[in-house]
Amino acid sequence: MAKENKIRTGIFGGSFNPIHIGHLALANYLCEYSELDEIWFLVSPHNPLKKQTDLWDDSLRLELVQLAIADYPKFRASDFEFHLPRPSYMIHTLDALQSAYPEREFTLIIGADNWAIFPRWYHSDEIIQRHRIMIYPRPGYTIDPAALPPSVQQVDTPLLEISSTFIRRALAEGKDVRYFLHPAVNERLTR
């Protein structure tokens, strides 16, 4: 299949512990204002660079993503990494996705904070050589677009500084954070 005829799929990987409006607004912006046709929210069972102690159950995090994106046709929830060896290394995930879905051209979506530590990622040089990467801004991280490899592009997206850690802490304290979450996610977490 010719490259120009492939479905341009953004891979937005993360713990989504839980998914919040910052994730959704960023993905919505990228679907509407970049060359991506769709975005897959790739729920990660375990990020090798993060502690697993605060990680909610895989099935709950996947369910919350499904609830949050149900009404937007350009989004898809993916448990693809649940079926791969753990820990999940992005090079293995991207290669397996490309093999399983040859009709798609995948682009890895990461924040500037992850780009700053990208050399620590497992086989980061191979990811850059074999796959496209899209970097969105994060407060406190500057990227020089002229220094980026050809397969890597910086995108200028709105900044919404919301973290899943903040959401988890607020919920544990009994705070009402309904406007930080998709209504279906808020309902599921507070019932």
- Environment class of residue 184 by beta-carbon count within 10 Å: exposed (0-12), middle (13-18) or buried (19+)? middle
CATH architecture assignment, domain 3-190: 3-Layer(aba) Sandwich (3.40)
Q: Note down pLDDT in tens along the chain; length 191 residues.
A: 556 799 999 999 999 999 999 999 999 999 999 999 999 999 999 666 566 678 999 999 999 999 999 999 999 999 999 999 988 899 999 999 999 999 999 999 999 999 999 999 999 999 999 999 999 999 999 999 999 999 999 999 998 889 999 999 999 999 999 999 999 999 999 98
Q: pTM (2 decimals)?
A: 0.92
